[in-house]
Structure formats: C-alpha cells, structure tokens
Chain A
Amino acid sequence: AQSVTQPDIHITVSEGASLELRCNYSYGATPYLFWYVQSPGQGLQLLLKYFSGDTLVQGIKGFEAEFKRSQSSFNLRKPSVHWSDAAEYFCAVGMVDGGATNKLIFGTGTLLAVQP
C-alpha cells in the first residue's frame, strides 16, 4: 500500500542554521512527490514537486529537495532557515490514475520551530 513517512514530528533549529526534513515513501510505481507547508490560518502551499528528470528540485522560499529512488526518500533542505519558516511541513505522494495525478497521500507532518 502507498504510504508516506515523516520520521520527525517536531524539529527545532536556530535561525540561520541549515535544515533537513526527512520523507520516505512507499509506492509501487514512479512517484510524484510534493512538499507542502501549512501555516496557521492559511492553506497548504506547495513548496516544490518532483515528477521526473533532475532529481534535485528547487522550490520557492529557498527550499530544495532531492529524490533518491534507492532510498525511497525525498528529503527537504534549506541552507539557512529564517524565523518565518516556522510552520508545519507535509510530504505527499501523488497517485497516478490514467496518467493524471488524482490523489495525494500525506505524511503526518513535521512541525518546525525556529529559535532566534
């Protein structure tokens, strides 16, 4: 069965420090992978996505993620965290049905706190 695992429920980093959020997936075919960020009172915002091609994907707000098929991972990284990055981050895998991504399966999320 398809699933997404985010091993870290809560992470605290200092402002300016680097960040890596882990995501592992289980999916039988080539995955469509997404990272979303959820801030209080706001909808989920797409940070980046991977469909094919270059396995290092650049996103908004300085985030990047690397798809590693051998490890079934799609970890999110940022070289220098800003206080405004404090939020909850969700990794998701898209299930493909007839060539179109129809459903998203989400991980349990990682809550990021940023210390001054």
Chain B
Amino acid sequence: GAVVSQHPSWVICKSGTSVKIECRSLDFQATTMFWYRQFPKQSLMLMATSNEGSKATYEQGVEKDKFLINHASLTLSTLTVTSAHPEDSSFYICSGKRFGGLAGNNEQFFGPGTRLTVL
C-alpha cells in the first residue's frame, strides 16, 4: 500500500514551453503533497507544500509563478513548469502524506520522480 505514481517519468521540452507533471496517490488519500527538486548528486530540496483545496505554500526562493502547483483532489497534484528554461532541467519528485493517523507519525510516500530536460 501507499503507492505514489508520477507521470511522465521523463520529458524533454524546448525552451519557452510549459510542462505539466502529475503526481497521484494510488491507494490512499493524500491531504498534503510535497514537491521536491533534486540536482545530480545532491539532496532533495523542498519546493512547495500543497494541501488539497488550498493554495500551495512555496519555500523561500521558489518562484510560484514559474512552478504552478494544483492539488485539486485527495489523489492528484500537478506541477506545471511554465516557460521552461535549461536551468529548470532537474529531477522532480513528489510525495504524499496520508490523511489521518497519529500526530507526528506522518510518513511521506514518494513517487519515482520525473526527469525534466529543457533544450
């Protein structure tokens, strides 16, 4: 149980175009989803936190107009990279936090990631 999928797993786009990445919790309801960015041989950096039905909360330094996050249902969150540029090339990972459970015992379940390459 607690499976998170991402689609696509790999995408190449031209500079200036927009790309949408989907994150789905397949067998649980994720009241909160997180989006991370991972550079080669580096750690995961949290970009934003989204709660279902609310606006996402972005980390300092992350452009909210560039990285649009929508969390329209308890099983789907999307990240749209608008007007993508080569510096946006990275590995994007989402995770979902299960609804309910004991406070503090909120494990995040991670998707397999999406490799974005902007030419």
Contact = CB atoms under 8 A, between A and B. Distances in A.
A103 B46 contact: yes
B113 A43 contact: yes
Nearest to A96: B104
Contacts of B95: 44
Interface residues on A, range: 20 to 34
Contacts, number: 56
Interface of A: 9, 32, 34, 36, 41-46, 49, 51, 90, 94, 96, 99-109, 111
Contacts of A108: 42-43
Interface of B: 4, 9, 32, 34, 41-46, 49, 93, 95, 103-113
21 contacts: A9-B41, A36-B110, A41-B9, A43-B4, A43-B93, A43-B109, A43-B111, A43-B112, A44-B44, A51-B104, A51-B105, A99-B103, A99-B104, A100-B103, A100-B104, A102-B106, A104-B34, A104-B108, A106-B43, A108-B43, A109-B43
